[in-house]
C-alpha cells in the first residue's frame, strides 16, 4: 500500500542555501515532509524531534567534513537510508560514502525526475526492510507464545531464564522461579468438556498477564501448569505476589455459557539470591520450585510454599518409605 508522502519526513542537509533549495523543491512537488538545514548544530538538534525516513546530504556539509558527520549520523538514525548528492563525484568520494553505508550517490546538477525516482526507490527499500523486520518479529512471537494463554511457551523459556540468572549473578540481585498448578483441574474436563477446560486455562493466562510486569517471564509450562520468572524482587515481595495471584484465582468465577466453576491454585517458588560465589542452573531452579509446588499439594492445595532444602529431604524420605513398603508387600504376596 502506497504511503502518504506527507507522512514521510525527509532531512536535507547542505551548507549552501541555494543548493539546499534545489534539492528540497522537487521533494515538495511530491508532497514530502521536507526539513532542510544548513548547519551541523541545527541538524543534530533536529534529530531529537524528527524521525526521518530518508536523509539527503551534500558531502561538503559540516564545514567540508561531511564524511565525519555522516559517520556520527548513522549511529543515531540506524536503518534510515542516506542519499549523497555531490557536485564533485570523484571515484574516491563515491567509494568512500558507499563503503560508509550510504544507500545511493547522485551527481549534481541532476534531472529532478531522476532524483525523485531515486528517492522513491530508497523509500520503497526502507518499507520492504520494515515489513521484513515486522514479519520476523511476528514469526518469532508465534514460535515463543502459547496460542491458548498468550504466555510464553517452554520453547524459549530456559534461554530466558538462564539469561536472568546470569544477570542476577552479575548485579547480585535475586531471581525467582514460581511454579503454579491448577488444583483438581481434571474435574473441569470430567464435569464439563474440554472446550470449557481450554477457556479456564485461557482465563488463568489472562489473570497471570494482568498481574505480571513487562520485565517478568510468564509461561505456560504444560497442561494446567504455569511458570513465572520474577527478577529483582525480594523474598517478601515474591511471597506477596504469589499470595495475591492465588487469591485472585480463588475469588474468580470461571463462566462461559451454561458452564461455571470456582478453582484454586497451588504455588511453589524458589529464589536464587544472586550470590556470585554460588552457581545454579535454570533447570535446578525450576526443579526446586517444582519440589515446593509438590509440597503445597501435599499440605492440602490452595497455598503458596517457598523452597527449602528440608523439602528435598522430606520427599526423599517419603519416596524411600513407599519403596520399602512396596518391597515388603512383594515379599508377603
Answer left, alpha or beta for residue 300, where phi above 0 means left and psi between -120 and 50 means alpha: left
Condensed to tens digits (0 to 9), the pLDDT of residues 166-197 reads 999 999 999 999 999 999 998 887 788 778 98
Q: Which residues are catalytic, by number? A: 224
pLDDT at 67 over 60: yes
pLDDT of residue 325: 40
- Give the pLDDT band of residue 86 (cuts 50, 70, 90): confident
pTM of structure: 0.60
Beta bridge partners, 176, equal 230, 271
Q: Does the structure show a pLDDT above 70 at 77?
A: no
CA distance 7 to 29: 14
Cα–Cα distances (Å) from 149 to 27, 210, 220, 245, in that order, read: 48, 12, 7, 16
The chain-wide mean pLDDT, for the chain, equals 85
The answer to whether residue 328 scores a pLDDT higher than 60 is no
pLDDT at 141: 58
Residue 104 dihedral angles phi and psi, to the nearest 5°: -160, 155
Instruction: Encode pLDDT of 111-158 as tens digits.
Output: 889 999 999 999 888 888 888 777 666 665 556 788 889 899 887 788
Q: CB within 8 A of 176, min separation 6: which ones?
A: 229, 230, 231, 233, 238, 269, 270, 271, 272
All domains of the chain in start order, with CATH: 5-142 (3.40.50.2300), 154-332 (3.30.70.270)
Q: Residue 323: is its pLDDT beyond 60?
A: no
Please compute the mean of the pLDDT values over residues 302-320 and round it to a whole number.
Answer: 80
pLDDT of 74 above 80: no
Amino acid at each position: 500500500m502506497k504511503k502518504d508522502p506527507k507522512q514521510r519526513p525527509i532531512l536535507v542537509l547542505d551548507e549552501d542555501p541555494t543548493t539546499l533549495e534545489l534539492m528540497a523543491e522537487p521533494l515538495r512537488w511530491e508532497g514530502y515532509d521536507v526539513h532542510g538545514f544548513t548547519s551541523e548544530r541545527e541538524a543534530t538538534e533536529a534529530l531529537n524531534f524528527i524521525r526521518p525516513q530518508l536523509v539527503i546530504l551534500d558531502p561538503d556539509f559540516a564545514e567540508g567534513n561531511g564524511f565525519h558527520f555522516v559517520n556520527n549520523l548513522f549511529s543515531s538514525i540506524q536503518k534510515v537510508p542516506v542519499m549523497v548528492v555531490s557536485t564533485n563525484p570523484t571515484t574516491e568520494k563515491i567509494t568512500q560514502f558507499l563503503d560508509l553505508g550510504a544507500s545511493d550517490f547522485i551527481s549534481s546538477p541532476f534531472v529532478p525526475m531522476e532524483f525523485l525516482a531515486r528517492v522513491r526507490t530508497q523509500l520503497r527499500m526502507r518499507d520492504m526492510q520494515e515489513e521484513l523486520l515486522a514479519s520476523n518479529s511476528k514469526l518469532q512471537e508465534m514460535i515463543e507464545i502459547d496460542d491458548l494463554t498468550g504466555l510464553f511457551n517452554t520453547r524459549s523459556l530456559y534461554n530466558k531464564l538462564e539469561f536472568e540468572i546470569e544477570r542476577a549473578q552479575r548485579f547480585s540481585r535475586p531471581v525467582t522461579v514460581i511454579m503454579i498448578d491448577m488444583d483438581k483441574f481434571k474435574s473441569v474436563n470430567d464435569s464439563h468438556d474440554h472446550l470449557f477446560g481450554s477457556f479456564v486455562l485461557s482465563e488463568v493466562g489472562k489473570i497471570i498477564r494482568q498481574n505480571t510486569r513487562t520485565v517478568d517471564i510468564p509461561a505456560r509450562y504444560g497442561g494446567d501448569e504455569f511458570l513465572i520468572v520474577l527478577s529483582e524482587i525480594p523474598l517478601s515481595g515474591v511471597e506477596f505476589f504469589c499470595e495475591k495471584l492465588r487469591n485472585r484465582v480463588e475469588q474468580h468465577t470461571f463462566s462461559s455459557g451454561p458452564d461455571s466453576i470456582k478453582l484454586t491454585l497451588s504455588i511453589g517458588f524458589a529464589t536464587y539470591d544472586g550470590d556470585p560465589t554460588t552457581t545454579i542452573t535454570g533447570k535446578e531452579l525450576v526443579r526446586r520450585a517444582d519440589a515446593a509446588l509438590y509440597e503445597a499439594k501435599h499440605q492440602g492445595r490452595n497455598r503458596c510454599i517457598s523452597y527449602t532444602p528440608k523439602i528435598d529431604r522430606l520427599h526423599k524420605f517419603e519416596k524411600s518409605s513407599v519403596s520399602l513398603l512396596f518391597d515388603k508387600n512383594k515379599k508377603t504376596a
